Amino acid sequence: MSSYKVNGVVDRAFTKVKKTRMGDKTINYASVDGQEFSTGFDSIFSQGEMINILVEYKFGEYQLVKGKVPSNEPDIKTAGAQAAPAKKSWTGGGGRAASVFPVKPTDGQMSIIRQNSMNRAVEILCEWMAPNTNGDILFEPADQDEYMKKLIEVALTVTDFNSGQDIMKLAAAQAAQMQVVQ
């Protein structure tokens, strides 16, 4: 794994929330000359601070190498496109080709998209069932069946959007409309 030197003024310091097996975790980040890197759980840099650090490209992002001082590692700015390895597409072990968008309904990725969509639908309904800033509740199910129907409806809508099927359905509807008009 190659290390790169980051030397300059911190443009901004910020956080991102990432989902992990142990729940949501807040990860700290900083940016120097537009190049973002993770500092982990410690917020150790502030905007405007001058820094000289080492980063490594791990887990799809640059991460701070703690406890090491740059010596003769290449500067991340001069390393350019060579610094970050090209992201590899997941082949699922079956030798399938790289991902395509929109995702076909029979593609194995749809299972992952549907799982993600169901999780997001639960989050959306929780927000709809909680009072908003005006004290209004957007969705109050009469019973468990109504909740489940709405949950599935939202999950399928999110799935269509995330997989690109909404675009395909719109294109098919437009093509059908053109056939009727002609």
Burial of 179 (0-12, 13-18, 19+ CB in 10 A): exposed
What are φ and ψ of residue 25, in 5° steps?
Answer: -125, 140
Give residue-wise pLDDT tens across range 142-178.
999 999 999 999 999 999 998 888 888 888 888 888 8
pTM of the predicted model over 0.75 = no
Quick check: 47 and 65 in contact, CB under 8 A?
A: no
Domain boundaries, the chain: 3-74, 109-181
Confidence at residue 94, expressed as pLDDT on a 0 to 100 scale: 46
